[in-house]
Chains A and B, each alone.
Chain A
Amino acid sequence: MDAKAIHEKLVARFGEKIAGEGLAAASPFAVVAPEAIAEVALFCKSDPRLAFDNLMCLSGVDYPKENPPRMEVAYHLYSYVHLHTFALKVLLPRENPALPTVEGVWGVANWHERECFDLLGIVFLGHSDLRRILLPDDWEGHPLRKDWQDPEYYHGLHVKPTQQMAERALAGEKIGVGPFDFTPPNRSNQG
């Protein structure tokens, strides 16, 4: 099936939950409302004409400068039965982005969604084990966001001395000199 036919099938089934489309792009996609993504995903996998049994990639992208500022989660799907590809996109607000998980549909989404949460802060509701995967468990913040600033302190250790701080240190202020806080972080909430 080509991209237009897939899009029409989705619209026929889900109506206005399919909020838009980008069929002219190099990888054609359909925009899905956040709360419906799990159902749409299950339909994509189980419908015999679509049969998207493989989630190729799940990416999060941060668009702070768009109007309105948004975050996107893109699902690139592939079918081993019909050998066609398609993409789904979900547009989320940048404050508290949250959407249902699709790990019940494609098992690989478990790890992809953990990475998305880790690097961008997008929460996947209903995920069985949503915790950081690439960054240390006690990391604070989500670095792949466009407004990420590298921290100056990491658990009491001074990480990034800058020229201003060098000048302040020469002026006598105690910088990067201790006493440092070496107590191990509390891991009980991270599992």
Chain B
Amino acid sequence: MATPEPVVNEWDRQDRQDLDTDEMVLNMGPQHPATHGVLRLELRTDGEVVKAARPHIGYLHRCFEKHAENVDYPGVLPYADRMDYCAAMGNTLGFALAVEKLHNLQVSPYVATLRIVMAELQRIASHAVAVGTYTMDIGAFTPFLHLLRDREKILDLFEWTCGARLLYNYNWIGGVSHDIPEGFVRATRDLLREFDSVTFPELLDLIIHNRIFVKRLASVGVCSKELAISHDLTGPNLRGSGVPRDLRKDEPYLGYETYDFDVCVGQGQYGPLGSCFDRNWVRVVEMRESSKILHQALDRLEKMERTPVQEKCPKRVKPPKGEAYVRSEAPRGQLGYYVVSDGNINPYRVKVKSPCFTAMSVFHHLARGMMIADIIALIGSLDIVLGEIDR
């Protein structure tokens, strides 16, 4: 029987070259403008070149999984929102889908379309923040504000619908919390029109194809397909390495199979495939694909019959004894919920597989041999949100 090879601890691995110069241990501490949250990176550097990197997480651990065992199923949803606070719609959607699978519930097509609209709007908003803050880390401050301008409009739409700008508690088990108000479709169309015609082309012209930006990113942090799959990189991180897998196409939920959109894959147009540029490129182009889906969903919403949004919500959520692992395509990757139910009103165990957690696990492999400026580029290209890593 073949057993797997033992793995060497990356931190202690010494690459003794001919010159044994002094190494410095640098701490990019929990408080740092570019680490996208409270992430501590211990870097062993030789001058500017990083020899080993050790990420320390857990500064934002808020015991989501323990809380989930002590509240009932609908009560888990606000906690779930707060994990990935930049893309909260996706979190509750994932949990609702998992519990609905345990319950064998099917939501009405109207609710499914609403969920898709909210999820895709959230995808645009989340990628706007991701790309904006990424360009800010690289040094260009202006695209951040241009993208946030559009994100503000999306957040206004969310506030109009359910009253919250960032943490919505919108996707309930069996339905959604609020129906869309009158004029929502028209406002969303205005937003998308301006996004498609102004913000998106400007973004491409101003920064994405900018020579300095490309030179900073195009051959940095190259992650091969095998490494990406082995370390469970999902979503834009995986598609940036050239693997054309998207849960919305492979295992469609909520009726995604009826929408017409493309899977955005990294092209490697400026350097080796799987670089930071490719991951960022996938996010940029995904914003346009989300806009496509939104146009189709809005057309359907106008023609569809409106059913009450909470008619399928059970009065007491008590799924039968069983367990399920359900995953959905959140903006940051595949968000998986392993829900174990023992027939009570509280879940027995909720384990969350967050895409950023697995993305960080590849960090110390990619960080060897980079310069410190590239470390910043790498963190931003993985698009991590510490709330999701630490839960």
Contact = CB atoms under 8 A, between A and B. Distances in A.
A73 to B, nearest CB: 11
Contacts of A74: 325, 338
Interface string B333-347: 010101010000000
Given A39-B3, A135-B61, A54 B229 contact: yes
Contacts of A26: 101-102, 322-325
B210 interface: no
Interface in A28-84: 36, 38-39, 41-43, 46, 53-57, 59-62, 74, 76, 80, 83
A134 B61 contact: yes
A80 B245 contact: yes
B351 interface: yes
B57 A46 contact: no
Interface centre among A53, A62, A80, A107 (most CB of B within 10 A): A107
A115 B391 CA distance: 12
A57 B339 CA distance: 12
A60 B11 CA distance: 26
B4 A108 contact: no
Interface in B340-358: 340, 348-349, 351, 353, 357-358
B3 A129 contact: no
Interface residues of B, number: 48
Given A27-B325, A136-B58, A144-B66, A107 B230 contact: yes
A56 B353 contact: yes
A53 B348 CA distance: 29
B2 interface: yes
Given A57-B325, A111-B360, A133-B57, A128 B1 contact: no
B120 interface: no
A110 B324 contact: no
B58 A135 contact: yes
Given A107-B365, A111-B360, A41 B58 contact: no
Contacts of A132: 58
A108 B231 contact: yes
A143 interface: yes
Given A110-B361, A134-B390, A39 B1 contact: yes
Contacts of B4: 38, 41-42, 102-105
B19 interface: no
B7 interface: yes
Nearest to B98: A26
A25 interface: yes
Interface in B48-82: 57-58, 61, 63, 65-66
Contacts of B57: 133-134
B171 to A, nearest CB: 20
Nearest to A43: B2
Interface in B215-260: 226-227, 229-232, 243, 245, 250
A30 to B, nearest CB: 14
B362 interface: yes
A87 B9 contact: no
A11 interface: no
A87 B227 contact: no
Nearest to A55: B232
| Residue with the highest number of chain B CB atoms closer than 10 Å, among A76, A87, A100, A132 | A76
B44 to A, nearest CB: 14
Contact of A56 (B8, B245, B322, B334): B334
Contacts of A148: 66
A98 interface: no
A112 B391 CA distance: 13
A111 B232 CA distance: 11
Contact of B227 (A61, A107, A136): A107
B232 A126 contact: no
B9 A56 contact: no
A128 B229 contact: no
B5 interface: yes
B327 interface: yes
Interface of B: 1-9, 11, 57-58, 61, 63, 65-66, 101-102, 226-227, 229-232, 243, 245, 250, 322-325, 327, 334, 336, 338, 340, 348-349, 351, 353, 357-358, 360-362, 365, 390-391
24 contacts: A25-B324, A26-B323, A27-B324, A39-B1, A39-B2, A42-B4, A53-B226, A53-B229, A53-B230, A56-B325, A56-B353, A57-B338, A59-B353, A80-B229, A102-B4, A103-B4, A107-B361, A111-B358, A128-B9, A133-B57, A134-B391, A143-B63, A143-B66, A148-B66
- The 10 A-B pairs of least Cβ separation, nearest first, read A104-B4, A59-B351, A26-B324, A57-B353, A108-B232, A111-B361, A134-B58, A128-B9, A107-B230, A39-B1
